[in-house]
Structure 1
């Protein structure tokens, strides 16, 4: 297994896990996890999901597959879209993290939201960049006299 520190950058094989009552929420959680992994240059070895959060964690097929992948060394870490995908509260999530750490892995949640693109955002960013570099879309404009 790679010898990279937790939270560090590098080729770390991770699993993405989402559990929510709707397919849309599962896809959103998975997308958030993949974005989190990509920002750290972690390799997503697989993505698993379950659609019933009411089922105990150790009885969910997706979670069982992740536990198996962790025990065989296929993955080193688990990324979940939110605490609620695997735990009732932050304390329970921390306890689960300790259990996974004892097995040689790590558990993180992809906090925050994905950046959203708005209409015209790309053009506004170009305008800001151009203005900061001194370039003007109107050609040569008179500069203030600095003398």
Structure 2
């Protein structure tokens, strides 16, 4: 098994879990989970879903299958599209994350599935680092104004 930390990047086997009443909502939730995993180079090895969010989490067959895969070592984590898919509130979601961590895994919420936006300063810093690594230095940044 890879030793990448939760939230880190690398080829970590994960499951995507979703729970919604319509197949369209399940598909969208799965897509967000896959996008989130792909952005981190995690390998989605299983996808499970349940059609009834009113059922307690322990009684959902899809959730049971995902946690069984975790316990068996087939996956390292479970990605959900949002905390409300598996928990009533943030405290319950955190407790569920601790439970999965005790089993040797992690729980990740994709939320909207879109990577966080970078500020213009962060984007410029990344560009400067890439330029420096390639040996390219823009003229405007290599000399001070007024110096001849």
- Partner residue in 1 for 2:95: 95
Give TM-score, length-normalised by structure 1: 0.75
How far residue 82 of structure 1 moved from its aligned partner, in angstroms, is: 1.1
Question: Where does structure 1 lack aligned partners over 5 or more consecutive residues?
Answer: 116-147
Q: Deviations over 1:13-64 (max 9, x none)?
A: 0000000111111111100000000000000011000010001101111011
* Shift in alpha-carbon separation, 1:9–1:113, aligned structure 2, 3 A: closer
Structure with larger Rg: 1
**What is the rounded CA distance, in whole Å, between the counterparts of 2:103 and 2:85 in structure 1?**
20
Deviation at 1:113, TM superposition (A): 4.7
Question: Which residue of 2 is the match for residue 35 of structure 1?
Answer: 35
Secondary structure of 1:73's counterpart equals: coil
- Let me know the Cα RMSD of the aligned residues: 1.2
Aligned counterparts, 1:1-147, within 5 A: 1-114=1-114
Moved segments of 4+, more than 4 Å: none
The total of aligned residue pairs comes to 115
Q: Unaligned stretches of 5+ in structure 2?
A: 116-148
Once the two structures are superposed, residues 45-92 of structure 1 have per-residue CA deviations (whole angstroms, 9 ceiling, x without a partner) of 110000100011011110110111000000000000111110111111
2:47 aligns to what SS in structure 1? strand
| Separation of aligned partners in 2, 1:2 and 1:28 | 28
Equivalent-residue separation in structure 2 for 1:67 and 1:5 (angstroms): 19
